[in-house]
Structure 1
Amino acid sequence: MRRSIEDLRIFYGEPAGALARRLLARRLEDAWGEATNSDVLGLGYATPWLDAFVGARRVVAAMPGGQGVELWPSVGKNRTLLVDDRRLPFAAGSFDRILLVHALEEADDASALMAEAVRALSPAGRIILVAAARGGLWARAETTPFGHGRPFTRGQLERLVRAAGLEPTAWSQTLYVPPWGPLLALADGFEQVGKRIMPGAAGVILLEATRREYARIRPGGAVATVPVMTPALQPQPASRSRREKLAGADLAGTRERP
């Protein structure tokens, strides 16, 4: 059973939720920037991050029936709707970017959900899965949405996307700080230290994937997958002003791709 929309809204209005929102936004900005000229779908509960995609042509928030739907500012291109996550009401290839947050962990059938997401993905589209990390402390805290449902390892997410016909292209982790009030103020320090000496303590995994025919190919024909020792999502090219802003920000640390 999915967490209700009210539970999710309450959590993201609390200090722990605000922190999770900020740290995840940092990783997503590094990966997709403003999603310029893209059609973006948020599946699950993605509205806390969708407003950042100011360059998108349109942004749709699709919320599963078992969760419920919330009002979201419908300014021109923004829309929300309630969906059956096993039968999404979108034509094939409708979206260039699909973001799954609080979607997989409590899905009745994660494979069916992924199949529908891939159907809605454009041929050159990119998808990011955000899921609670099995080894992290956030998956053990029932006071957060990450402590409900089924957490994942990176390997499990990779197998899930490959079974749906995608190829992993980048990954990242965040939320190294334990979800305890007195420690939340130290989150940025935990981020810097955790990714170097405690990678298994991350609370959330982000995995990006594309269709196999658009995966990068190494010389010799091997499909380029994510290097194990370099957890980072690859930024999307942005405008000069945006590159200058990002250059001064503390984002995802090392950014390397094969």
Structure 2
Amino acid sequence: MWQDVIDLHGFYQTRTGQVARHLIRHSVRQMWPDVQGQALLGLGFASPYLRQFRQEAERVLAFMPAPQGVMHWPAEGPYVTSLVDETELPLQDYSVDRVLIVHGIENSDYLKHMLSEVWRVLTGQGRLLVVVPNRRSIWARLERTPLGHGHPYSPTQLKRLLRDNLFVPQRHQHALFIPPTRSQTLLRSATAWERAGQRWFPQIGGVNLIEASKQLYAPTPLRAAERSRRSVLVGVPQVAATFAPAKRTSS
């Protein structure tokens, strides 16, 4: 079940959320050090991690699933967010180079269909990066943060999920080793926690990050038009027009 966008936004306004965003964003950048000239799509609630790419990527879009709700982003300049049906992304085949999914894998009720759409819109050399709560972490056990909701995964389970949906896991890492605390003293030591966790206890990081490529020799996933239609796109911004959204029938 998707979390409400207001709750997600509220978490990232707290000191705990700001520290979590900083640590995870650093790991995302390590995985993707260069996206120069590429088209990048964030799916779920990925906007806290997209800002670092806006001046570098050719295009950055943030798609938020209808059950979650949408929030305007960024605060400055043209908005690049859209409310979408995660099983019918309004993009052409092979139209984006990178897809970042955050607060998505663990929440979707139509996970297979969502990943099928991600496979469809990625270019042949495209990359998918998922950020998912780690089943073995304390974060996945406490509901006061977004990482304590939905279905957490171990690295093995997450890799199997990606392989089952025509993706090939390439590399992975863990992030967010500090406990989900409100203590200002502990939060100030977050960087030290991160260094120690990466070195000594990688299996207990709060999130798993796995990058995957497309399995090009597999049968093409079912197109969205061949599945039952549910909700439709609401308010695609002008910036998305360069991706030439597919025509949609009215409900």
> Shorter chain as normaliser: what TM range?
0.7 to 0.9
- 1:250 counterpart residue number: none
The residue correspondences of 1:14-25 to structure 2 (distance < 5 A) are 14-25=14-25
Kindly provide the amino acid, as one letter, of the partner of residue 195 in structure 2: Q
The residue correspondences of 1:147-158 to structure 2 (distance < 5 A) are 147-158=148-159
Q: Does 1:201 align with 2:239?
A: no
Kindly provide the amino acid, as one letter, of the partner of residue 150 in structure 2: G
Superposed displacement of residue 113, structure 1: 1.3
Task: Give the structure-1-normalised TM-score.
Answer: 0.79
Gaps of 5+ in 1: 215-258
Q: 1:202-239 deviations in whole A, cap 9, x for unaligned? A: 1000000112359xxxxxxxxxxxxxxxxxxxxxxxxx
Superposed displacement of residue 8, structure 1: 0.7
Query: CA-atom RMSD, angstroms?
Result: 1.5
The residue correspondences of 1:178-197 to structure 2 (distance < 5 A) are 178-182=179-183, 183-197=186-200
Kindly provide the amino acid, as one letter, of the partner of residue 131 in structure 1: V
Q: In structure 2, the residue corresponding to 1:206 is in which secondary structure?
A: strand
- 1:46 counterpart residue number: 46
Q: In structure 1, the residue corresponding to 2:162 is in which secondary structure?
A: helix
For residues 114 and 169 of structure 1, the distance between their equivalents in structure 2, rounded to whole angstroms, comes to: 17
Q: 1:55-99 deviations in whole A, cap 9, x for unaligned? A: 1111110001111000113746x6211111111111111110000
Superposed displacement of residue 187, structure 1: 1.4
Q: Does 1:3 align with 2:3?
A: yes
State the number of aligned residues: 213
- 2:143 counterpart residue number: 142
Task: Give the structure-2-normalised TM-score.
Answer: 0.81
- Runs of at least 4 residues off by over 6 Å: none
- Bigger RCO of structures 1 and 2 (CA < 8 A, at least 6 apart): 2
Q: In structure 2, the residue corresponding to 1:52 is in which secondary structure?
A: helix
- 2:232 counterpart residue number: none
Kindly provide the amino acid, as one letter, of the partner of residue 114 in structure 1: L
- 1:111 touches 1:160 (CA, 8 Å); kept in 2? no
- 1:95 touches 1:122 (CA, 8 Å); kept in 2? yes
- 2:174 touches 2:203 (CA, 8 Å); kept in 1? no
For residues 125 and 178 of structure 2, the distance between their equivalents in structure 1, rounded to whole angstroms, comes to: 35
- 2:5 touches 2:68 (CA, 8 Å); kept in 1? yes
- 2:133 counterpart residue number: 132
Gaps of 5+ in 2: 218-251
Q: In structure 1, the residue corresponding to 2:152 is in which secondary structure?
A: coil
For residues 105 and 193 of structure 1, the distance between their equivalents in structure 2, rounded to whole angstroms, comes to: 27
